[in-house]
């Protein structure tokens, strides 16, 4: 499989503090890649680095094109959609308004309507709550809204930061099933950052392990899953 995103020798800095030292990974076109690592390992920073939300050095290539340092809105135009930690939905706006914002650059009303229907096919719960304020949705529904909003951008690559965070196990399973469908049916490649390593490794085709700002292990997810250190440190057995 050809690489959609290639990251090499990535460094990231918050002011004088360096958070990433040498991060490298490849995201295959059409695959689901997960980044595992303990708290503070640099997973969130890696996603922020791809979106140019933190100062970086190194190489970030998307579909062969150097995107490092590109303005964030230009990165969105390349069809890279970021679903940040904490979801980032507009709590005082309705579900409908949150989704339409993602399509604000489009002039064709029918096109946007079709797009909404396509997205609601994955998230029927959101359709039922279309006029509800996002802030009054459950945590799981807010996470769904954040993913749905990213999907409105017709992404080629979706960057997901801890979609399971703070959610009940059944909702997490539902969200992960939807992510699998989105990957298969929309041909969206996914980069998934997760604390829940067991779930992430089940969903993913490839995995990378980050420790203190460096990649320490990588491979097909079933190989990573069976690694002794990964089992002890991240899977708890
Ligand atoms: P978590 O699961 O806790 O989000 P993570 O693997 O995503 O962990 P990051 O949030 O990327 O880790 O943090 C990597 C390092 O960068 C940590 O040492 C953290 O303290 C530092 N860091 C993160 N955000 C900032 C910031 N805004 N200013 C300064 N340092 C930061």
User: 41 pLDDT exceeds 80?
Assistant: yes
ipTM of the complex: 0.93
- Regarding the beta carbon of 197 and ligand 1, being less than 6 Å apart is answered no
Q: With bands split at pLDDT 50, 70 and 90, how would you rate the model's confidence at 89?
A: confident
Q: What does the pLDDT read at residue 1?
A: 59
User: 131 pLDDT exceeds 80?
Assistant: yes
Q: What is the pTM of this model?
A: 0.94
- Regarding the beta carbon of 39 and ligand 1, being less than 6 Å apart is answered yes
CA of 126 to the centre of ligand 1 (A): 31
Q: What does the pLDDT read at residue 82?
A: 94
pLDDT in tens, 9-22: 999 999 999 999 99
- Regarding the beta carbon of 19 and ligand 1, being less than 6 Å apart is answered yes
pLDDT in tens, 187-197: 999 999 998 99
- Regarding the beta carbon of 17 and ligand 1, being less than 6 Å apart is answered yes
Whose CA is closest to atom 20 on ligand 1? 40
Q: What does the pLDDT read at residue 103?
A: 78
- Regarding the beta carbon of 42 and ligand 1, being less than 6 Å apart is answered yes
Show Cβ contacts of residue 224 under 8 Å, excluding neighbours closer than 6 positions.
36, 201, 207, 209, 217, 218, 230
CA of 21 to the centre of ligand 1 (A): 13
Once rounded to an integer, what is the mean pLDDT over residues 67-81? 93
User: 93 pLDDT exceeds 70?
Assistant: yes
Q: Which domains does the chain have, with CATH numbers?
A: 3-90+155-235 (3.40.50.300)
In this prediction, what percent of the chain has a pLDDT beyond 70? 99
């Amino acid at each position: 499989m050809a690489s959609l995103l290639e990251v090499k020798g990535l460094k990231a800095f918050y002011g004088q503090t360096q958070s990433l030292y040498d991060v490298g990974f490849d995201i295959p076109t059409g695959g689901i890649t997960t980044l595992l690592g303990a708290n503070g390992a640099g997973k969130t920073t890696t996603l922020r680095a791809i979106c140019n939300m933190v100062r970086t050095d190194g190489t970030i290539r998307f579909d062969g094109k150097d995107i490092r340092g590109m303005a964030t809105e230009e990165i969105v135009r390349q069809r890279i959609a970021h679903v940040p930690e904490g979801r980032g939905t507009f709590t005082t706006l309705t579900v409908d308004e949150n989704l339409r914002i993602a399509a604000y650059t489009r002039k064709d009303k029918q096109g946007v309507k079709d797009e909404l229907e396509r997205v609601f096919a994955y998230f029927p719960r959101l359709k039922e709550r279309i006029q509800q304020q996002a802030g009054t949705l459950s945590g799981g529904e807010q996470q769904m809204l954040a993913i749905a909003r990213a999907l409105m951008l017709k992404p080629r690559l979706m960057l997901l930061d801890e979609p399971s965070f703070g959610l009940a196990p059944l909702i997490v399973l539902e969200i992960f099933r939807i992510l699998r469908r989105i990957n298969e049916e929309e041909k969206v490649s996914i980069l998934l950052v997760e604390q829940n390593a067991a779930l992430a490794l089940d969903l993913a085709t490839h995995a990378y392990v980050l420790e203190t700002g460096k990649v320490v292990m990588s491979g097909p997810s079933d190989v990573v899953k069976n690694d002794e250190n990964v089992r002890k440190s991240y899977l708890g057995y």
